[in-house]
Structure 1
Amino acid sequence: MDFVSAQVNQTMNDPSVQPFDTTTLLKNAAAQAKQRAYKDFLIVDVDSHHYETELLPEILQFMEDPVIQHLGLSRGQIGRSGLIPQFVGSQDMAGRITRYPGRANEKTPGDQHREITLMHRWMDAMGVDMACMFPTPMLGLSTHPEIDVEVALARAYNRWLCEVVLAQDPRLVSMLYLPLNEPAEAFRMVEEFGSKPGVIGFMGTGNRNRPVHDNSYMKVYAALQERDLPLAFHAIYNWHDTSLAQLNRFISVHALGFTLCNMVHMTNWLMNGLPERFPKLKTVWIESGLAWIPFLMQRLDNEYMMRTSEAPLLKRKPSEYMREMYFSSQPMEMVNNQEALKVTFDMIKADTQLLYSSDYPHWDMDLPSTIYDLPFLNEQAKRNILGGNAQRLFKLNPVFSPAKLKAREIAAAAE
């Protein structure tokens, strides 16, 4: 047993030791937030995650299919139930990300649901006021070979999230998972959950059986547009995908997989004229970073100008439609050339279209300072990206963290 594994096992077996407490793990992030002027900013994290893996028995109580429910309950955990395809662990970096195994050992009081408490702990430490909450292993549901399992588990999770979490806390919102492998069920999800408290849109992931322009999705897109609910494409990777199967390192799959799936979806979305067919449907592209966007703008514009007849529905260049879309910031490529990052921000109209995201608690997370510290942004652009753009897009009623509310009260009393 290596040193890290031994330490993890020893600590998790000792209930008196709590090194995995979220507040302790994020003490440097909290100090960083305190040093900056976050007290005056609404910070909305549009892409954060929790570990629904730990909650399978609870979530399965909301499942309609008794056979699939029994399958999950009989095995105890999502990762061992056959409900979600699993890879051998790579994201945890061989045990170096201690909050992954240790989170289940973290103590919480009984006055509110455990997930709400844990979400608040990291949000308060980082200075985040509101967070869009996504699952983690379940993002891989779209790769499941049994579509009925994807649909059943997605519905159970969405029901659980709406009733148990979102309805109880206005700081937490979500774009609910759509089982796009089954368009009729995706449409049913929009109809059933679209008006629930805390639901600010819907989300599909990167690998599915049909391209995004397939006619079977048009009813789903129309329903979203009618309700003014954004559609997000949350990137994932699939090492079994033929385009990635030649890669022999996770770092390679991570670098290309998260961008490739959204590049494919974006290209199909544009070249098949969906921005013209659904002009009021807002799209959000999540967890692909930013460096791919200028490349795709230039590449598609160049191709379009040479072969416009193959995209007859478009009335403008692809890049012009892309500048009206929304993008999440994480994982923002910040190495080597900040001038290139500035050009990227200019090309995507970041001051109105970019949305801050942390991707917490994943290993490549970004703190709000990732945006706040950029020297080429003025204060208004920082305010927009960190929260204002999300507030406008999702029509959020701002809910500030207790620390920020207290700071405001102190400031008002001093005036």
Structure 2
Amino acid sequence: MAPFPWIISVDDHTVEPPHVWRDRLPSKYRDLGPRVVRAPLKDLTFVGGRFTPVMGDPGDPGPPADWWVYEDLRRPLTRLDTAVGYDRDEVRLEAITFEQMRPGSFSVPERLADMDLNHVQSALCFPTFPRFCGQTFTEAADRELGLLGVRAYNDWMVEEWCGPAAGRLIPLTLVPLWDAELAAAEVRRMAERGVRAVCFSEIPPRLGLPSVHSRDWDPFLAACAETGTVIAMHIGSSSSMPSTSADAPPAVGSALTFANCCFSLVDWLMSGVFDRFPTLRIMYAEGQIGWIPYILERADTVWRENRGWGGVAEKVLRPPSELFAEHVYGCFFDDPVGLRNLAAIGERNVLYETDYPHSDSTWPRSREVGEAQMGHLAPETVERIVRGNAIDLLQLTPEGLWAR
């Protein structure tokens, strides 16, 4: 049996250290921008797909937690942000401090050591406090400060998170979603620094933003296409997780995490975007892949049988499955069903991930999980899924490293 390839994970996470915005915002904003304070947790619920924390006042009862404070936002660090190193039954909905998390969550040397333990060579990391596509800054009232916050995060990502990592950490940056022209400018600014991936929302209208069916995003999409910047969409990047009712427990949403990716993919395939921007590439992080074959089958049927009245005859010029093959990548960390149906998805359209340090993460067993689930595949196919596709998509070196 061929040795399992060194993993390039396309979906890990960084927990931003407290100094990111304190050190990088202009002095007049340092007391207004995102900052960390320690305060008790008064209440914390997560039902119906909604996360609701309540911060106590000094002296109130409740466990201490580190909170990000920004305008009206009070957001604690939680065990779900950084669960690796804990037994599954110990991972509960609770607020924590930096001292209570694994240091690899926020420190580059410790992250690289944890990657070594997990047979991971390189990793692309999504944000935590800004949320998965920068919703925190999109929802802020002060647009000038929000734009500075986006740029500060991006510069930190390139210079402090990825810079010292010898190419093993791959930059993934944000854009100001409230303005497509500003977003395009930030894509180009980051592309000049070697960045080839940018966060975006799976379902923008849920953030009060235009849909991908409109032409509003064209400046941003054009910038991504021209610079070879991949549009990366993480589950929950529409600020909502799938659920069934206001009182549904979090387990319902956890079992349905793929659903928003499903809706989003159909949006993109029926939008005409890929015909207008033939070099554009998108990826779905943490969405798994087992659902993809049926969606492609159904989308092709609708395009073939119903495009006359379905509003897509003039803008979607080829079967959706063909567009998927050329433009879309699905990402998984634990999906034997998807791997058994790989021929219906396409081995060139699948990427591997470890989701460190979240509760779903396969750390430190990502190699063992991959070996068990990909054992029926040819070695060259495993190589492509585990690292080759990521090298091509993210324009890494042949060795699998980021080069500025």
Q: TM-score, normalised by structure 2?
A: 0.75
Contact 2:22 2:33 in 1 (8 A): no
2:216 partner SS: helix
Q: Report Cα offsets for 1:246-283 as digits up to 9, x if no partner.
A: 45111112232x32332232222121211101111111
2:231 maps to amino acid: L
Q: Report Cα offsets for 1:179-229 as digits up to 9, x if no partner.
A: 3233233122112211214x2221213353221233221011111111122
1:61 maps to amino acid: D
Contact 1:65 1:152 in 2 (8 A): no
Q: How is 1:10-49 mapped onto 2 (pairs within 5 angstroms)?
A: 37-38=3-4, 41-49=5-13
| CA-CA distance at 1:332 after TM superposition | 3.0
Counterpart pick for 1:204 among 189, 200, 206: 200
1:368 partner SS: helix
Q: Report Cα offsets for 1:352-391 as digits up to 9, x if no partner.
A: 2211111111111131333333232111111111111111
Contact 2:201 2:234 in 1 (8 A): yes
What residue number does 1:27 align with? none
2:323 maps to amino acid: Y
Go from structure 1 to structure 2 and tell me whether the alpha carbon gap of 1:65 and 1:238 turns closer, same or farther (over 3 Å shift). Answer: farther
Contact 2:79 2:93 in 1 (8 A): no
Q: How is 1:293-372 mapped onto 2 (pairs within 5 angstroms)?
A: 293-309=292-308, 310-311=311-312, 312-334=314-336, 338=337, 341-343=339-341, 345-350=342-347, 352-366=348-362, 367-372=366-371
- Return the alpha-carbon distance in structure 2 between the equivalents of residues 114 and 241 of structure 1: 25
Contact 2:351 2:387 in 1 (8 A): yes
What residue number does 1:172 align with? 169
Go from structure 1 to structure 2 and tell me whether the alpha carbon gap of 1:36 and 1:153 turns closer, same or farther (over 3 Å shift). Answer: farther
Q: TM-score, normalised by structure 1?
A: 0.74
1:216 partner SS: coil
Q: How is 1:14-413 mapped onto 2 (pairs within 5 angstroms)?
A: 37-38=3-4, 41-52=5-16, 55-64=17-26, 66-67=28-29, 69-73=31-35, 75=37, 79-82=68-71, 86=75, 91=80, 95-96=90-91, 101=96, 104=99, 115-139=107-131, 141-142=134-135, 145-146=139-140, 148=143, 150-169=146-165, 170-197=167-194, 199-206=195-202, 207-208=206-207, 209-236=209-236, 246=246, 248-256=248-256, 258-309=257-308, 310-311=311-312, 312-334=314-336, 338=337, 341-343=339-341, 345-350=342-347, 352-366=348-362, 367-373=366-372, 374-399=374-399
Query: RMSD of aligned C-alpha atoms?
Result: 3.5
Contact 2:271 2:315 in 1 (8 A): yes
Q: Report Cα offsets for 1:282-313 as digits up to 9, x if no partner.
A: 11121111122123212222222222132122
2:196 partner SS: strand
How many percent identity over aligned positions? 20
Go from structure 1 to structure 2 and tell me whether the alpha carbon gap of 1:108 and 1:225 turns closer, same or farther (over 3 Å shift). Answer: closer
Give aligned pairs, total: 352
2:116 maps to amino acid: D
2:68 maps to amino acid: G
Structure 2 unaligned regions, length at least 5: 39-65
Go from structure 1 to structure 2 and tell me whether the alpha carbon gap of 1:201 and 1:106 turns closer, same or farther (over 3 Å shift). Answer: closer
Structure 1 unaligned regions, length at least 5: 1-34, 402-415
Go from structure 1 to structure 2 and tell me whether the alpha carbon gap of 1:296 and 1:249 turns closer, same or farther (over 3 Å shift). Answer: same
1:49 maps to amino acid: H
Q: Choose between structure 1 and 2: higher helix proportion.
A: 1
- Return the alpha-carbon distance in structure 1 between the equivalents of residues 201 and 285 of structure 2: 9
Q: Choose between structure 1 and 2: higher strand proportion.
A: 2
Go from structure 1 to structure 2 and tell me whether the alpha carbon gap of 1:248 and 1:191 turns closer, same or farther (over 3 Å shift). Answer: same
